[in-house]
Chains A and B, each alone.
Chain A
Amino acid sequence: GQQVMQIPQYQHVQEGEDFTTYCNSSTTLSNIQWYKQRPGGHPVFLIQLVKSGEVKKQKRLTFQFGEAKKNSSLHITATQTTDVGTYFCAGPTSGTYKYIFGTGTRLKVLA
């Protein structure tokens, strides 16, 4: 079945350092969404990418959708302690509207 993998699984960074998580799907995606889940919290929608090669920015966060629409990345510039949490990508399974969540990357920011 379709799989959505993320690397790294965990990342510890010093506050102020940059962070990137990569999302890879075994199949082409019509779109990809990113969610953030704080410790003890619930997933919160961050952004959606639809077009091949699309790049979107939200303040210190930069999201990219691969040309082949099978991979995506989230880059955070100059991390802050408020960035702590698990970042999930999510994409629809082929031919359906069911979103599969990626394995997630847990970010820890050391002050």
Chain B
Amino acid sequence: DTEVTQTPKHLVMGMTNKKSLKCEQHMGHRAMYWYKQKAKKPPELMFVYSYEKLSINESVPSRFSPECPNSSLLNLHLHALQPEDSALYLCASSPLMTGNNEQFFGPGTRLTVL
């Protein structure tokens, strides 16, 4: 299984809502990533987990809260988002965080904040 899955595919939420994005991989990868991608822009790194521990937080606002319950799962909890947070949220995984590792991306969750 060389796939990263993400749910839901689409999400519309109000600014007062709380929602969660889910990402799963069964490739045995020990590094997992959250990226944010606005239209016609490159992916921007948000968080990196290595061996289920948060290793990198790219100064992301606290309304985004990542969680790695186990080595296969990665969640992104959303609360009190702003309309400018509307974007494609991509999850990725790689064998390790260190070294030269290709990243496997999931299909993304397209988030709209009203």
Question: Would A43 and B105 count as touching, CB distance under 8 A?
Answer: yes
| Chain A CB within 8 A of B48 CB | yes
Q: Number of B interface residues at 8 Å Cβ cutoff, please give it.
A: 21
Question: Would A102 and B42 count as touching, CB distance under 8 A?
Answer: yes
Question: Would B43 and A43 count as touching, CB distance under 8 A?
Answer: yes
| Chain B CB within 8 A of A22 CB | no
Digit string of A40-66 for contact with B (CB within 8 Å is 1, else 0)? 011111001010000000000000000
Question: Would B98 and A97 count as touching, CB distance under 8 A?
Answer: yes
Docked pose: A41 CA to B37 CA in angstroms: 12
Question: Would B100 and A31 count as touching, CB distance under 8 A?
Answer: yes
Docked pose: A42 CA to B58 CA in angstroms: 21
Docked pose: A30 CA to B108 CA in angstroms: 28
Question: Would A48 and B105 count as touching, CB distance under 8 A?
Answer: no
Chain B residue with the shortest CB-CB distance to A30: B100
| Chain B CB within 8 A of A71 CB | no
The prevalent SS among residues of B at the interface is loop
| Chain A CB within 8 A of B54 CB | no
Question: Would B42 and A88 count as touching, CB distance under 8 A?
Answer: yes
Digit string of B42-74 for contact with A (CB within 8 Å is 1, else 0)? 111100100000001010000000000000000
Q: Name the A residues within 8 Å of B40 (CB-CB).
A: 106
Chain B residue with the shortest CB-CB distance to A88: B42
Question: Would A98 and B48 count as touching, CB distance under 8 A?
Answer: yes
Residue from the list B99, B102, B106 in contact with A42, Cβ < 8 A: B106
Q: Name the B residues within 8 Å of A42 (CB-CB).
A: 90, 105-108
The 6 nearest A-B residue pairs measured at CB: A101-B42, A45-B102, A42-B105, A43-B105, A31-B100, A97-B97
Docked pose: A108 CA to B98 CA in angstroms: 35
Distance to closest chain A CB from B62 (angstroms): 20
Chain B residue with the shortest CB-CB distance to A48: B100
B98, B105, B107, B108: which has the most chain A beta carbons within 10 Å? B105
Within A96-111, the residues touching B (CB, 8 Å) are 96-104, 106
- Please list 15 pairs of residues, one from A and one from B, whose beta carbons are closer than 8 Å in the complex, sorted by A's number: A33-B102, A42-B105, A45-B103, A50-B100, A96-B56, A97-B48, A97-B97, A98-B45, A98-B56, A99-B45, A99-B103, A100-B45, A101-B43, A101-B44, A104-B42
